[in-house]
Chain A
Amino acid sequence: MSLPRIVITGVGLTAPNGDNLATFRRNLLAGVAGIERLEVRYMGQLLAGVCHYDPLKYQKKKEVRVGTRAGSISIYCAREALQDAGLDPAALVKDRTGIYIGCTEHGNVETENEIWAISKFNHDTKYWSHYHNPRTVANNPAGETSLNLGVTGPAYTIGAACAAGNLGLIHAAQMLRLGEVDVAICGGVSESIHTFGIFAGFKSQNALAVHDDPLKASRPFDLARNGIVVSEGGCLYTLERLEDALARGAKIYGEISGYCVNSDASDYVLPNPTRQAECVRKAVAHAGLRPSDIHIVNTHATATPLGDIQECEAIRSVFGEGCPETHVNNTKSFIGHCMGAAGALELAGNLPSFEDLTVHPTINVDNLDPKCALPGLVLNQPRRAAKIDAILNNSFGMLGINSTLIVRRFVP
């Protein structure tokens, strides 16, 4: 059975170091990170990746007040993605447009805020906001986006821990192939920096990064790495079937070529390199490629001491030999861990490589951990490549969810 080919026709994003793809990419090539100090309730100043997009570009003040940060980020990214794709939101066939947004978690921010608010009233729940439920339902970011755009097709979130950004794209590609929708707005978002819980949780796991220099704090593969920098962010794409994109003369960033989602079924938090490698191999096979055909492997590595080693073990087992043209990089070294947005943002940061034949580096590696040494690892400076035809994007999450997405240079 021949399935329709699916292509990326638009990108909308906000990252801690850029609010559009051009700025984001420029900073990834120039070594510009985006981590700063953020006051976190109960905990004081911590390191975080904060986005600085203008919420009022696409929302009324009241929408910002009533809605959530994740909803606002989603709306910004969705509108930017449609504009980038040359699609007028007013002209969309509303019931044939789908919104699929990956989230690591949703509702913690709003719940913490309400508990804080009623603490000022002796925890009397009559002061609890009537907005709590619409703000905390798991579909909130997608629902707010559907309201803003007037989209009446399917709009929901996909909960997949930190693999969620890839899952948004994968699910959208599947829905387009099934003919459920004609245009998909998809990817991932995160508002996690506005909850103290995620910082406190990582700190209790001894997995929260600390560093005197915020810009050096996120340092996957470095011997002195000491944990995760939590970040917010969002990246949504417009995906279409190839024939539809060609018919309207759309710009095509790349083609969704292959993917795999699997589960470790082994631990709540510890990664499993065997299952990760299996996920990568299956995605490569699904794309009809060999490992040597992959020219960029964007790692999930979050700068935890064990997690980075385990992912490197998985990558080494697939790409360790016979892949001289495979380059390996990491985007979290610039922007921290954008949680549900991570996979989608990290893919976006690499997409321009199809055009500029340059691989952005992994920064902040002063002393490479020998256990993270990989052939093709691009350290600290961008690297020119002879060819870049396929990008493989890893995103893994707690409870052992793994996702690998492969995007190929578009060839008609």
Chain B
Amino acid sequence: MTKDECKQVVLDIIADIAPDEALSNVKPDVRLRDQLELDSMDFLDIVMELRKRHGIEVPEADYPKLASLDSCAEYLTPKFNAVGAKQ
């Protein structure tokens, strides 16, 4: 998986958990909470959906790494590739 593909996976999850938000202009280098109406429960949703849909675990200590799309891609892409390698 590329980092761009990883960002799309995260955006797809956000589209489901924040269905009122327009996601076409999300800036990858800006904190998601600074540009979208997302609260702490929504971030738990992102963590849960990564677990449910993709078998990816994000420990609580790593939650700050989900702050922006860029940081998500940086942190999650290796995890996706590790999961993919196992399958």
Task: Write the residues of chain A forming the contact surface with B, with a CB cutoff of 8 angstroms.
Answer: 60-62, 65-66, 121, 126-127, 129-131
Contacts and interface: CB of A to CB of B under 8 A. Distances in A.
A130 B41 CA distance: 7
B19 interface: yes
A65 B19 contact: yes
B26 to A, nearest CB: 16
Interface size class of B (residues with CB under 8 A): 10 to 19
Contacts of B44: 130
Given A66-B41, A131-B41, A126 B19 contact: no
Given A130-B41, A131-B41, A62 B18 contact: yes
A185 B72 CA distance: 44
Contacts of A121: 52
A366 B61 CA distance: 68
Contacts of A61: 19-20
A66 B45 CA distance: 10
A367 to B, nearest CB: 51
B41 A60 contact: no
Interface of B: 17-20, 37, 41, 44-45, 48, 51-52
A65 B51 contact: no
A62 B19 contact: yes
Given A130-B41, A131-B41, A62 B17 contact: yes
A130 B48 CA distance: 9
Given A65-B19, A129-B48, A130-B44, 16 more contacts: A61-B19, A61-B20, A62-B17, A62-B18, A62-B19, A62-B20, A62-B37, A65-B17, A66-B41, A121-B52, A126-B51, A127-B48, A127-B51, A130-B41, A130-B45, A130-B48
Contacts of B37: 62
Contacts of A127: 48, 51-52
A65 B52 CA distance: 17
Contacts of B41: 66, 130-131
A223 B51 CA distance: 55
A130 B18 CA distance: 16
A207 to B, nearest CB: 38
Contacts of B19: 61-62, 65
Report, nearest first, the 10 A-B pairs whose CB atoms are least far apart: A61-B19, A130-B44, A60-B20, A61-B20, A62-B20, A62-B18, A62-B19, A127-B52, A130-B41, A65-B19
Nearest to B19: A61
A126 B20 CA distance: 27
